[in-house]
Amino acid sequence: MPTDSTGITVSGLKFEYPNESFAIRVDSLVVMPGEAVAIVGPSGCGKSTLLRVMAGLLSPHAGRVQMGAHDVHSLSARALREFRLRSVGLVFQDFALLDYLTVEENVLLPVRLGGFDSESSVARAHELIGQLGIAVHTRRLTREISQGERQRVAIARALAHQPRFVFADEPTASLDAVRRDIVGSLLLDYARRESAPLILVTHDPALQQRFDRVVDFTELSA
Amino acid sequence: MSPSAALQLAARYVMRHRMQSLLLSLALGAALALPAAVRVFAKTVEREMRARAAATPQVLGARGSALDLMLTALYYRRQPVEPVLMRQIDEVRATGFADAIPLHVRHHAQEAPIVGTELEYFSFRRLVAASGRLFTRLGDCVVGAHVARERGIKPGDFIFSSPEQVFDIAGIYPLKMRVSGVLAESFSPDDAAVFVDVKTAWLIEGRAHGHDDLAQADAGANVLKREAGNVVGNAAVRMFNEVTEANIGSFHFHGDVAGYPVTAAIVLPHDAKSEAILAGRYQDAKAAAQLIRPRDELDTVLSTLFRIEGAVVAGLALLACAAAAISFIVFTLSFKMRAREFATLGDIGIPPRTLAAIKAFEVALIGIAGVIVAAATVLLVLKLGPALVLRALR
């Protein structure tokens, strides 16, 4: 269970890819504990990059990302990895599943490799698998299931270790309306129940409506 | 980090890509096993050949290739060896320095060589009948264990000698031989041979024969002419191709047996001094016969063989190094192709040392499988090597 779950504060953030003209800038963004924020904007504007910088996967050239008590980018590489492994839930745009593992093995991958798996984490993984409607595929390889099902496996993997912060990049892009609602509800319920800030990049207007706040990326970096 | 989880993940990858993993392991295993297997096989050849050569003190044969003589007398290989005469063998016996056992290795029954010899040969090689008995009369044969097993032969059965020339109607006719016994397995070339008395070998060769008795009063229809105590038979005279109790009395040899040919003789000197004296007597290059020490001839052959073996093993060791290098490239490329997978694990927060451990475990699993394949191959060669060598020597 998260013990010091607080919000996320981004201030004076600047990031640009080496040798590219592309750059992002965020003066200020605050996400409260349990708050669900949807980031919207045109394709290619830098939403996913912002998400990766906030999650500690990319280092900014300037500015701070405060997650709970941690100034993420001032942590050592080792401490940052440990922080991500234990406290951050990531849903990647391309799912990033290991196709030679089963659904269950993919969901439990971070906790097992991190060495903090337990009966409760296994039970929680199975609960998530059930809630996401993929229990029937528990022991099937992820390469044998549909895109939508793979996306739900990615979401289950992101939440299985009960992260204190959740970042999701287009998590409902491959889902039909019914599944989109289920996944949306699951993420929102999690954020509220665990008081975990949820930051989600999406183009889906229906999903945006259910979020506490919708932030237009172009205004954020203006 | 959880090492067991890293091992589990590596094992999953290997198992879920079992065909590729299996092929890689087999290739590695084969490359590792080949030099060792060749070495083991060569050692087995050497041991088997040396054992028989060491047990055979001297061999008498016609002048010519000592190697051919040794291969014929010890391993019954069909080599172009000139015969020696029984007289020359009797001369060795007459010296009082040694016993001599004649060997007539010319004919065959299908693929099995027919070895004409004397009963002393069996005690010399410590060969005993597993069933039946050794030959006791003209026309009998004793078959080696391998021949009996391959052809389902038992005492009381018959086998035929093979004609030398199928299309030569004036040539040697097949002899129907009664199997008097089957030898116990000796794991030597004797297992693949058919043994007959040397007189039976001469019978096959046509130096003796049996036919209707023309001296009988009722033989008139078979007689072409009678003159001065000499009876000439006509084409109706029956030649016997089988020795039976009824016709054995009609078999007879023409000419002096001392002038009959044999292929070689195993010479058994009574002591080292006798051996040296006998060897000295046959040193003369003008002598009609030669007396060789099989172990010396074998040393010459094996020294050449093992020089070649050394080069082969070195070549195979290079091949193993090349296979290891190729495996390294395969693993490197595989990990490069899976860069996204490892990047994802890194993004989740899996430390680099865990990622390195996953890769190391994958390499180790394939490597261990390769070593198991190599060990199994070497064990297989150790188990089957002697049988293969014997088959090659038969």
pLDDT of amino acid A3? 38
Lowest mean pLDDT among B220-234, B314-328, B336-350: B220-234
Lowest mean pLDDT among A173-182, B129-138, B366-375, B382-391: B382-391
pLDDT tens digits, residue range A9-63? 999 999 988 776 778 889 889 999 999 999 998 888 888 899 999 999 999 999 9
Report the mean per-residue pLDDT for chain B: 86
Lowest mean pLDDT among B90-104, B149-163, B271-285, B306-320: B306-320
Report which of B337, B360, B326 is spatially closest to residue B11, judged by C-alpha positions: B360
- The answer to whether the Cβ–Cβ distance between B347 and A141 falls below 8 Å is no
Res B48 pLDDT > 50: yes
What residues of chain A lie within 8 A of the CB of B2, using their CB? 112-115, 117
B239 or B325: whose pLDDT is higher?
B325
B9 to chain A, closest Cα gap in Å = 8
What residues of chain A lie within 8 A of the CB of B9, using their CB? 101, 109, 113
Q: What is the CA radius of gyration of chain B?
A: 32
pLDDT of amino acid B392? 66
Residue of B nearest to A90 (CA): B348
Taking residues B121-134, report their average pLDDT. Answer: 94
Q: How confident is the model at residue B151 (pLDDT cuts 50, 70, 90)?
A: very high
Rounded to the nearest 10°, the torsion over CA B311, B314, B315, B320 is 160
pLDDT of amino acid B219? 63
Distance CA A136, CA A147 (A): 15
A6 to chain B, closest Cα gap in Å = 21
pLDDT of amino acid B89? 93
Report which of A215, A151, A217 is spatially closest to residue A186, judged by C-alpha positions: A151
Beta strand pairing call for A36-40 and A198-201: parallel
Structure tokens, B53: 């050569």
pLDDT tens digits, residue range A164-214? 999 999 888 877 888 888 888 889 989 998 899 999 999 888 888 889 999
Domains recognised in chain A with CATH numbers: 8-220 (3.40.50.300)
Distance CA A54, CA A215 (A): 15
Q: Which residues partner with B132 through β-bridges?
A: B181
Report the mean per-residue pLDDT for chain A: 88
Report which of B112, B114, B81, B115 is spatially closest to residue B101, judged by C-alpha positions: B115
- The answer to whether the CB of B180 falls within 8 A of the CB of B135 is yes
Cα-flanking dihedrals φ and ψ of residue A216, to 5°? -85, 120
User: Which one of A72, A86, A100 would you mutate to disrupt binding with B, by most B Cβ within 10 Å of its Cβ?
Assistant: A100
Structure tokens, B318: 């290079």
- The answer to whether the Cβ–Cβ distance between B349 and A115 falls below 8 Å is no
- The answer to whether the Cβ–Cβ distance between B2 and A85 falls below 8 Å is no
- The answer to whether the Cβ–Cβ distance between A113 and B5 falls below 8 Å is yes
Res A1 pLDDT > 60: no
Q: How confident is the model at residue B110 (pLDDT cuts 50, 70, 90)?
A: confident
Q: What is the ipTM of this complex?
A: 0.85
pLDDT tens digits, residue range B6-32? 899 999 999 999 999 999 899 888 888
Res B334 pLDDT > 70: yes
pLDDT of amino acid B141? 95
A100 or B171: whose pLDDT is higher?
A100
pLDDT of amino acid B168? 60
pLDDT of amino acid B394? 57
A3 or B239: whose pLDDT is higher?
B239
Please measure the distance between the N-terminal and C-terminal CA atoms of chain B and give it in whole angstroms: 61
pLDDT of amino acid B5? 85
DSSP E strand stretches across chain A: 8-16, 23-31, 36-40, 62-67, 70-71, 88-91, 165-169, 198-201, 213-216
Q: How confident is the model at residue A117 (pLDDT cuts 50, 70, 90)?
A: confident
